[in-house]
Amino acid sequence: MGRSPCCEKAHTNKGAWTKEEDQRLIDYIRAHGEGCWRSLPKSAGLLRCGKSCRLRWINYLHPDLKRGNFTEEEDELIIKLHSLLGNKWSLIAGRLPGRTDNEIKNYWNTHIKRKLISRGVDPQTHRPLKEIAGPNANAAASHLDFRNSSPPSFPVAAGITAVNQPNNDVHNFATLQPKTESVEDANCTSSGTTTEEEPPQLQNRRQQQQQQHRQEACEISELNLELSVGLGPFQAESTRLSFGNTAESKLQQVPFQSAMVTQAVCLCCHLGFQSNGLCGNCQNSNGFYRYYRPMDS
C-alpha cells in the first residue's frame, strides 16, 4: 500500500516564500479561486507543494487576515475556548475572525501559556497548578481531562463528578445525549416516514414540510449551542455566519462536550432545554443526576 507523496519533492522549493512566489499565488487565486491545491502549484507556475501553497495562503496571504497583536479580549476568548475545546486550534480560530489556527497555536505556545502559568493555572488542564502539584495530585489526576481527545473518542463522561455516581455510571452518558441529539436527530436527519395511504404528491409535500421543520429546529438547536458557548456578540455573529462548513459541524458537538466541563448544572439546563438546575432528563436509572462541575472548582 502506501501513499504517493503529495508532490514531487525533488522539484519543489522549501523554506521561506519569496515576494514573487507570494504574488504568483495571490494572482492565481484571485483569478481562479481556491480550488485543487494539488494542481495549483503547476497551474500557477510555482515550484511548491500544494500543501505549502494552501498553508501560505491561509496563514499569510488571505485578504481577510487580521494582522497585528492580539487584544486582551482575544486573549481571554482564546483561554476560554481552549478550556472548552482543548488544542482544537482550527475550531478556536473559527471563533476568532481574521485569526488562523497556526497563529493562535503559536500565540498560545509563546504568550498565553506563560500568562496562565503566571496566574497559577495549568495551561493544559486550566486547573490551579498547586492543586495538580500538591498532596492531592492523585486525586487531581483521577479527575480525567479528555479535552485534548478528538471528539469521537471523547469519553463522554469526562468531568462528571464520581462522587455523585456511586454506581460509576459514568460511561452511560449516551442516555443523556439523546436529549440534545434528539433535537438534531429527529429534526436534522432525512429519515422521515410517510403513510402509505397518501398519494405521492401529498407525501412529497409532507416531506418538504418535515424538512422545513427540521431545518428550523436545527437552527434553534444551533442557537442553543451558540448560547451554551457563551461568546460575545461579535463571536456569536461569526458563529452564525460560518455554520456551513465541516469544522463548524464538528463544533456543534464540541460545545456539548464543553458544557460537560463548565457548569455545575444539569446538561439540559446548561443547553437551555430546561430552566431548573436539575431535570429528569439528566437523571439516570439509579436516580442520580448527571451534572458537571467546572474543572477548576
Binding site residues, DNA, CB under 7 A: 1-4, 6, 13-17, 35-38, 49-52, 54-56, 59-60, 87-91, 101-103, 105-107, 109-111, 114, 148, 150, 152, 247
Query: In the numeric block, which cell numbers belong to residue 239?
Result: 458563529
Cβ of residue 121: shortest distance to DNA, in angstroms? 17
Cβ proximity to DNA, 38 vs 206, nearer residue: 38
How far, in Å, CA of 35 to CA of 260, rounded? 38
User: Is the CB of 41 or the CB of 159 nearer to DNA?
Assistant: 41
Decide if 94 contacts 251 (C-beta within 8 A): yes
**What's the Cα-to-Cα distance from 4 to each of 9, 13, 17, 36, 278, rounded to whole Å?**
11, 19, 25, 17, 54
CB 253 within 8 A of CB 151: yes
Taking the C-alpha atoms of residue 133 and residue 73, their distance in angstroms, rounded to an integer, is 30
- Enumerate residues 6+ apart whose C-beta is below 8 A from 73: 232
Residue with smaller CB distance to DNA, 116 or 160 = 116
Phi first, then psi: give them for residue 60, nearest 5 degrees: -135, -40
Q: Is the dihedral of CA 81, 82, 85, 89 positive or negative?
A: positive
For DNA, the closer CB: 79 or 267 = 79
Identify whether the C-beta of residue 259 lies closer than 8 Å to the C-beta of residue 270. yes
Supply the minimum distance, in Å, between the C-beta of residue 191 and DNA: 18
DSSP secondary structure code for residue 134 in this structure: S
Q: Largest Cα–Cα distance of the chain, in whole Å? A: 72
Of 116, 87, 122, 120, the residue nearest 102 (C-alpha):
87
> Toward DNA, which CB reaches closer, 14 or 30?
14
Minimum Å gap between C-beta 43 and DNA is: 11
Nearer to DNA, 61 or 129 (CB): 61
Euclidean distance between CA atoms 176 and 11, whole angstroms:
54
CB of 295 closer than 8 Å to CB of 143: yes
Q: Shortest distance, CB of residue 32 to DNA, whole angstroms?
A: 12
Nearer to DNA, 114 or 171 (CB): 114
Residue (124 or 284) nearer to DNA, CB: 124
Q: Shortest Cβ distance from residue 31 to DNA (Å)?
A: 17
How near is the Cβ of 72 to DNA at its closest, in Å? 15
Distance in Å, CB of 57 to DNA, minimum: 9
> In the complex, what is the shortest distance from the CB of residue 17 to DNA, in angstroms, rounded to a whole number?
4
Cα gap 112→116, rounded to integer Å: 6
